[in-house]
Amino acid sequence: MAARVLQQCVRSFARPSLRLCSNNLALRVTAAPAAAVHRPLSFAADSRRTRWLVQSRIPSVGVLCRQYGDLPPLTLETIKERVMYVLKLYDKISPEKLQTSSHFMKDLGLDSLDQVEIIMAMEDEFGFEIPDAEAEKLMTPEEIVQYIADKKDVYE
Amino acid sequence: MFRHSKLQKQVLALYRQFLRAGRDKPGFVPRIRDEFRENSRIKKTDVMHIEYLYRRGQRQLEQLRNVNTKQLGSFSKPKERG
């Protein structure tokens, strides 16, 4: 068993190109003659470990890689689209008049209560809290996009 | 109009707290909105009235946040036909 391990190690170090195919390793094990067995035990232990390491680093179709879940990356474009989408869903805004530079109070005729509701909808959409002091300054969709981009470190 | 006074800021903060507290319990949000919208009509100079409503709102917010409050409903008279 130790001899087989040593053989695999020797062959994998000698022929790095064939390392990628695990089938070849199995074939080589069955067909190869016994190599020199006179090695110290510590080296055998190391080589067994390295053999597993070598084998696990083989990228066979991504089966052995670790996967993490995350949201799609934020860009200025996606932020703007999401902001406009949420604003279009708000019933007091008519979607035709809505633009990125339209002021909530001057152009769209909303009042401060509506603005609070809009900012809360943005908080829900993007998942982070906006403090009151800064929330009352955001009066156009453009400013909202800039603020979110600042907070989320999105630049282009 | 752009610079809110202290009182206006307090009212807006109260509105925000109300909306946050009432989000999970059904039936509160339309009532909150209607109430605030109605009371937004009173003049800015009527400070006594505004402060009274503000204190009342704070007390109602505590009631809303109470764990025992589950939902809000109301009865209304159906419109008479003919």
Distance of CA A32 to the CA centre of its chain: 44
Chain A hits for B8, Cβ within 8 Å: 112
DSSP single-letter state for residue B68:
T
Percentage of chain A surpassing pLDDT 90?
A: 4
Between CA B28 and CA B31 the distance in angstroms is 5
Going by pLDDT thresholds of 50, 70 and 90, the confidence category of residue A133 is confident
* Of the candidate ranges A8-22, A136-150, B33-47, the one whose mean pLDDT is the lowest: A8-22
CA-derived radius of gyration, chain B: 15
A112 vs B12, B20, B33: nearest CB? B12
Determine the residue type at A37.
Answer: V
Residues 6+ apart with CB under 8 A from B17: B61
Whether residue A81 lies within 8 A of chain B, CB to CB, comes out as no
pTM across the whole model:
0.64
Probe site for chain B from A112, A120, A122 (most B CB atoms < 10 A): A112
Residue B55 has pLDDT above 90, yes or no: yes
Token pair, residue B29, equals 């949000």
Instruction: State chain A's mean pLDDT as an integer.
Output: 73
Phi first, then psi, for residue A126 (nearest 5°) are: -100, -10
Whether residue A113 lies within 8 A of chain B, CB to CB, comes out as yes
Whether residue B25 lies within 8 A of chain A, CB to CB, comes out as no
Comparing A37 with A69, the larger pLDDT belongs to: A69
Token pair, residue A113, equals 């209560």
Q: How many beta-carbon contacts under 8 Å exist across A and B?
A: 27
* Of the candidate ranges A54-63, A122-131, B24-33, the one whose mean pLDDT is the lowest: A54-63
Whether residue A136 lies within 8 A of chain B, CB to CB, comes out as yes
Going by pLDDT thresholds of 50, 70 and 90, the confidence category of residue B54 is very high
What is the mean predicted confidence (pLDDT) over A125-145?
A: 88
- Asked about A111 being catalytic, the answer comes back as yes
What is the mean predicted confidence (pLDDT) over A48-68?
A: 62
Say if the Cβ atoms of B12 and A116 lie within 8 Å: yes
Min Cα–Cα distance to chain B from A116, Å:
7
Query: pLDDT tens digit string along B1-15?
Result: 567 788 888 999 999
Find the catalytic residue in A70, A91, A107, A111. Answer: A111
Between CA A114 and CA B33 the distance in angstroms is 9
The DSSP result for A92-132, as a single string, is TS-TTT--TT--TTTTS---HHHHHHHHHHHHHHHTS---H
Say if the Cβ atoms of B19 and A116 lie within 8 Å: yes
Residues 6+ apart with CB under 8 A from B55: none
> Can you give the pLDDT at residue A91?
83
Token pair, residue A65, equals 């890689």
Give the ipTM. 0.81
Query: pLDDT tens digit string along B12-34?
Result: 999 999 988 888 888 888 888 88
Between CA B82 and CA B80 the distance in angstroms is 6
- The C-alpha angle A55, A57, A61, rounded to 5 degrees, equals 100
> Can you give the pLDDT at residue B52?
93
